Structure 1
Amino acid sequence: MSRTVYVNGDYLPEEDAKISIFDRSFLMADGVYEVTSVLGGKIIDFAGHLVRLERSLNELDMQKPEAFDDLLDIHRELVRLNDIDEGMIYLQVSRGSSGDRDFAYPSADVKPTLVLFTQSKPGLADSPAAKTGLKIISIEDQRWGRRDIKTVQLLYPSMGKMMAKAAGCDDAWMVEDGAVTEGTSNNAYIVKGNTIITRHLGNEILSGITRAAVLRFAKEAQMKVEERSFTIDEAKSADEAFITSASTFVLPVVELDGAAIGNGTPGPIAARLREIYLEESLKAGV
């Protein structure tokens, strides 16, 4: 049975879903997106994703879709219609279509395109990678300068994931001016002693919703947090490392560019933060 998806006010079988070939997300990557996890049928960190979506729209001077205030109800209906217990909901807003290709933004009477669909991921909370850890390579960060806006410009992150795959690894951390920015689809962390170190917020990285929650939980658990840049060499000498994202939660990193991190096995801080995040998120899910 096909999924039910949402396109501009309508719930449709996925095979019937269509947008214009002139949509600016297709022609110009002129769109933003969010991915929200579902655990136990509950939507995780929804409020944070909505705030970030609004910020992305504002930063690009893009209109809110007419259904903006109904997005929680739309998410819930898609979970219900597709019987999602564990998985993800993808949301995308583009500047819409004026019926032709033009570099200039369309007039204000052109409505944004709003699309949502679900992905069922049974076992999402019980990922084997949480027990084995990830192997990471480092690559040059060649993305545009406004990575704090969650746009659909994902070609280079996709290339990075393929570079990692070609190297027999799981993912890549991107490096700019000698310092790690972030992973291809996640925020990056190292641990030295009892201190968690992750890059400070700025235009260079995305302000992860899971990142914010995990750092809050870490501080509540009396863990020390430093938000600053770190190098690949510093990461290689760390006691442990991990990533966070909405679709992976917290996953340990055990190898970087062929060098074992710590003793080459998942560390206790990453494991504890994953445990806390899942427990607290399930309680707070909507």
Structure 2
Amino acid sequence: MHILWNDQIVERSEVKLDIEDRAYQFGDGLYEALRIYDGEMFMFDEHFARLKRCADEIRLKLPFTKSELKNNLDKLIAAENVDGGEIYFQVSRGVLAPRNHRIPSSEEVKPVLTGNVIPYERPIDKQKHGETACLVEDKRWLHCNIKSLSLLGNILSLDEARQKGCDDALLVRDGFFTEASASNAWFVIDGILYTHPDGNLVLPGITKLRLLEIARSEGLSVKEEAVPVSKLEQVEECFVSNSIWEVAPVVSVDGKPINGGKIGKITKFLQEKYIEWINK
């Protein structure tokens, strides 16, 4: 397997990461995960814009330009000869020894970039039949808009859902839905499509961004507004979205079927329109 390591494409066995790397010690870094369709990264510009914003928020100076990163990721895709798949990369703040909590200056450390590619096919079964979810208290930190390597809160919420026999968690903070364990959450109530507004409580999803554009261009009623858990009984459809799954219906919440346990009309419509947009 080939790996992107800083500005080089190397075999995985050649990669050497320091034990003092702040990604390992503190989760001090950022990541992005993109889909590859027909050998090309999908919505790279939007992913890079989010990466840059997050880097600014954690005071991390990226060690590459947008064009340099794209060029190296394209080389990685070519080296792995992947036509359809997922590309993941992360940027650590770098190595500071001895271990120290303070954020070092850009003169003291050099960020470390790693990336890999795996083949991945559209999850047809998940998109067609959906997943089950349960309510889990959102106990994560208050910077969920930063795509941080520190994902323990998300992992614990998913594990709680799995221990309850569900596929995923719908996170709840102060009586309102925020998002799912690794996705943006959407609800249809009285024919209106709802999703949580961007802010520090949710990650501004790239797929969410495109779905909002599609929904509005197709004349759907859309509200970027937090949905209270008290309205769960009124939810006609529910789905989650992310770059890897695209659009996946949620067919039951806490054991209660949504839309009779089947994919909803608006959900299916957006699935199809999103795929059409990919194939343009």
TM-score (norm 2): 0.96
Work out whether residues 173 and 182 of structure 1, in 8 Å CA contact, stay in contact via their aligned partners in 2: yes
Pairs within 5 Å for 1:191-270? 191-270=188-267
Query: Which sections of structure 2, spanning at least 5 residues, go unmatched?
Result: none
Tell me by how many angstroms 1:42 deviates: 2.0
Work out whether residues 36 and 43 of structure 1, in 8 Å CA contact, stay in contact via their aligned partners in 2: yes
Alignment partner, residue 113 of structure 1: 112
How many Å separate the matches in 2 of 1:65 and 1:270? 40
Alignment partner, residue 83 of structure 2: 85
Tell me by how many angstroms 1:60 deviates: 0.6
Q: Alpha-carbon deviations, 1:147-197, whole Å to 9, x = none?
A: 111101111211122222222211101110000111110000111233100
Pairs within 5 Å for 1:132-151? 132-151=129-148
Select 1:179's aligned residue among 176, 180, 190: 176
Query: Structure 1 runs of 4+ off > 4 angstroms?
Result: none
Question: Bigger CA drift: 255-264 or 106-115?
Answer: 106-115
Q: Alpha-carbon deviations, 1:48-81, whole Å to 9, x = none?
A: 1000000000001111113543111122111111
How many Å separate the matches in 1 of 2:160 and 2:106? 41
Secondary structure in 1 matching 2:77: helix
How many Å separate the matches in 2 of 1:169 and 1:93? 32
Tell me by how many angstroms 1:107 deviates: 2.9
Identity across the alignment (%): 31
Secondary structure in 1 matching 2:16: coil
Tell me by how many angstroms 1:10 deviates: 1.5
How many Å separate the matches in 2 of 1:201 and 1:66? 27
Tell me by how many angstroms 1:129 deviates: 1.0
Tell me by how many angstroms 1:16 deviates: 2.0
Secondary structure in 2 matching 1:58: helix
Q: Alpha-carbon deviations, 1:112-160, whole Å to 9, x = none?
A: 1111111211x22x42011111100110111111111110111121112
Tell me by how many angstroms 1:225 deviates: 0.4
Matched AA of 1:63: K
Q: Alpha-carbon deviations, 1:93-121, whole Å to 9, x = none?
A: 11111232101122322211111111211
Matched AA of 1:95: R
Secondary structure in 1 matching 2:268: helix
Matched AA of 2:253: L
Tell me by how many angstroms 1:202 deviates: 1.0
Work out whether residues 195 and 226 of structure 2, in 8 Å CA contact, stay in contact via their aligned partners in 1: yes
Does residue 276 of structure 1 match 2:273?
Answer: yes
How many Å separate the matches in 2 of 1:66 and 1:238? 45
Tell me by how many angstroms 1:250 deviates: 0.6
Alignment partner, residue 12 of structure 2: 14
Secondary structure in 2 matching 1:99: coil
Query: Which sections of structure 1, spanning at least 5 residues, go unmatched?
Result: none
Count of matched residue positions in the alignment of Structure 1 and Structure 2: 279
Select 1:60's aligned residue among 52, 58, 61: 58
